[in-house]
């Protein structure tokens, strides 16, 4: 029976021993387990033997070979992954990531986080994640197509609209989803629109899906500010990244009257004193697939590019890490606090290290963890599944209204749960416990499976 912090420490050690060389997964599990001690005191039924052990062990882990040919006829072999983590609340749901850094530990950390994130939405979706160590950067459309077709040739055995519904993530946008869906349709001879989300709006996709993660993160940050008696309008914002999440974070900040100052990529960051021009940023990153330095060159005197720098050097009222895991370290958090930051809201998955989270919370900064703050993307993916099931298409206004409602509910759930367990204002504790309760209740009801 798990009933104390020492029991949870023993479990964490066992999990780390059984899953060696997976530091991101260890970090994600540790961050959740550290907050659960008061839950077992209040809800002893959760101490049932094996519940947490089952929650921390994926239901299924799939690894496969992905051979493909480049434009010169050379054969390459990548590795594909799909970790179907927990389906107690519904079919597995979570993105595919194509990036050279992808390995089993990263996919497991993302899948574990997805379980709690999806639970917080209140929608009927379980948690999973997948991807490959394939790098689409610099590859032609034909090469990306051949890779996606090879990847889906194996993946299609394991997915379905009532089983597992992948979506996009880093390196997987509308182009990749299109190629993946085409191959799925080719192999299965079925128009099963609900098997993938993030599709084009003309063939089963949902309005606002590309924007959803960034928009939702800003709405969560706005809710945190309102609790403190402030509004988003007039706030300066520091945003990392320049991919889908960052672009639409910046777009929503502008729409709400905030002043986004920065964007970045692996080469460095741009600071734009006039505020980031989102239309120029989209042209450079989405159309031309160029480097962020090109933005500064075209923007003129208000923008400067800082090669190799860290975006957190720029002072701002709010910070929205929107690039990748562990990008905001303790030294960066110290810089933000000295710069007067009021709130940090995670657009990426686990972009803030545990040491940085502690420093921010101790400094009184409102901190929105990714499993709550960036849940807008998967929420709209679930709305896309609902539209596919009924063969209807909702208006942009309706989807955006639903997104705003879901993000408001997630914020309220996290805030109220933190209060209920004696940790007022601690959104990390609130998100972890609220997500855990929903999944644990479903697991208990369904027996030992």
Same structural domain for residues 74 and 112?
A: yes
Cβ atoms of 198 and 177 within 8 Å: the answer is yes
Q: Among residues 304, 335, 368, which one ends one of the domains?
A: 368
Same structural domain for residues 42 and 111?
A: no
Tell me if 39 is assigned to some domain.
yes
Respond yes or no: is residue 342 known to be catalytic: no
Tell me if 398 is assigned to some domain.
no
Tell me if 406 is assigned to some domain.
no
CATH number for the domain including 268? 3.40.50.720
Same structural domain for residues 227 and 355?
A: yes
DSSP SS3 for 63: strand
CB atoms within 10 A of CB 225: 21
Residues of the chain short of pLDDT 70, as ranges, are: 1-4
pLDDT the model gives residue 3: 54
Same structural domain for residues 48 and 82?
A: no
Same structural domain for residues 159 and 64?
A: yes
Same structural domain for residues 83 and 147?
A: yes
Domain that holds residue 340: 212-368
Tell me if 447 is assigned to some domain.
no
pLDDT the model gives residue 293: 96
Tell me if 437 is assigned to some domain.
no
Same structural domain for residues 240 and 304?
A: yes
pLDDT the model gives residue 4: 67
Same structural domain for residues 150 and 290?
A: no
What is 105-143 written as a DSSP string?
HHHHHHHHHHHHHHHHTTSS-EEEEEEES---TT--HHH
Please tell me the total count of domains within the chain.
3
Same structural domain for residues 279 and 305?
A: yes
Tell me if 163 is assigned to some domain.
yes
Q: Among residues 368, 394, 409, which one ends one of the domains?
A: 368
Tell me if 74 is assigned to some domain.
yes
Tell me if 378 is assigned to some domain.
no
pLDDT the model gives residue 5: 76
The terminus-to-terminus CA distance of the chain in angstroms comes to: 18
CA–CA dist 350, 57 (Å, integer):
19
Mapping DSSP onto H, E and C, the string for 170-221 reads CCECHHHHHHHHHHHHHHHCCCCHHHCCCCCHHHCCCCCCCCHHHHHHHHHH
Of 129, 252, 342, 371, which is the active-site residue? 129
Closest CA to 91 of 130, 58, 57, 124: 124
| Residue pLDDT, tens place only, 344-389 | 999 999 999 999 999 999 999 999 999 999 999 999 999 999 999 9
Same structural domain for residues 222 and 360?
A: yes
**How far is CA 65 from each of CA 58, 82, 166, 253, rounded to the nearest angstrom?**
20, 12, 18, 41
Q: Among residues 314, 341, 368, which one ends one of the domains?
A: 368
Closest CA to 106 of 161, 28, 196: 28
| Residue pLDDT, tens place only, 247-267 | 999 999 999 999 999 999 999
148, containing H or E segment: helix 141-155
pLDDT the model gives residue 239: 98
CA–CA dist 109, 223 (Å, integer):
27
DSSP letter (8 states) at residue 197: S
Same structural domain for residues 217 and 145?
A: no
CATH number for the domain including 101? 3.40.50.10860
**pTM over 0.85, yes/no:** yes
Same structural domain for residues 112 and 168?
A: yes
């Amino acid at each position: 029976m798990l009933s104390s912090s020492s029991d949870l420490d023993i479990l964490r050690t066992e999990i780390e021993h059984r899953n060696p060389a997976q530091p991101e997964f260890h970090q994600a599990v540790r961050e959740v387990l550290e907050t659960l001690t008061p839950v077992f005191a209040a809800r002893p039924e959760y101490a049932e033997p094996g519940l947490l052990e089952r929650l921390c062990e994926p239901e299924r882990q799939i690894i496969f070979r992905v051979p493909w040919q480049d434009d010169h006829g050379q054969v390459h072999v990548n590795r594909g992954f799909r970790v179907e983590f927990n389906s107690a609340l519904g079919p597995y749901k979570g993105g595919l990531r194509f990036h050279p850094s992808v390995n089993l530990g990263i996919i497991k950390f993302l899948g574990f986080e997805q379980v709690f994130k999806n639970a917080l939405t209140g929608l009927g979706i379980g948690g999973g994640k997948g991807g490959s160590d394939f790098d689409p950067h610099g590859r032609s459309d034909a090469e990306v197509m051949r890779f996606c077709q090879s990847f889906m040739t194996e993946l299609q055995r394991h997915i379905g609209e009532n089983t597992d519904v992948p979506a996009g993530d880093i390196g997987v946008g509308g182009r990749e989803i299109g190629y993946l869906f085409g191959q799925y349709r080719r192999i299965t001879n079925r128009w099963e629109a609900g098997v993938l989300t993030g599709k084009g709006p003309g063939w089963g996709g949902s309005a606002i899906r590309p924007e959803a993660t960034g928009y939702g993160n800003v709405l969560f940050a706005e809710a945190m500010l309102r609790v403190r008696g402030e509004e988003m309008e007039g706030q300066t914002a520091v945003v990392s990244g320049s991919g889908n999440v960052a672009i639409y974070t910046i777009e929503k900040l502008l729409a709400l009257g905030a002043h986004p100052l920065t964007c970045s990529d692996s080469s460095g960051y741009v600071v734009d004193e006039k505020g980031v021009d989102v239309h120029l940023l989209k042209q450079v990153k989405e159309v031309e697939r160029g480097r962020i330095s090109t933005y500064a060159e075209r923007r003129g005197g208000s923008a400067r590019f800082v090669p190799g720098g860290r975006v957190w050097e720029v002072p701002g009222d709010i910070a929205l890490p929107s690039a990748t895991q562990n990008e905001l370290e303790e030294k960066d958090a110290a810089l933000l606090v000295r710069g007067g930051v009021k709130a940090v809201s995670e657009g990426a998955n686990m972009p803030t290290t545990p040491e940085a989270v502690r420093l921010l919370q101790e400094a009184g900064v409102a901190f929105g963890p990714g499993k709550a703050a960036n849940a807008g993307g998967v929420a709209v993916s679930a709305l896309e599944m609902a539209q596919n099931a009924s063969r209807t298409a909702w208006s942009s206004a309706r989807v955006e209204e639903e997104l705003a409602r879901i993000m408001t509910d997630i914020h309220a759930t996290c805030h109220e749960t933190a209060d209920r367990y004696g940790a007022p204002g601690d959104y990390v504790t609130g998100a972890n416990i609220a997500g855990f309760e929903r999944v644990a209740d479903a697991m208990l009801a369904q027996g030992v499976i």
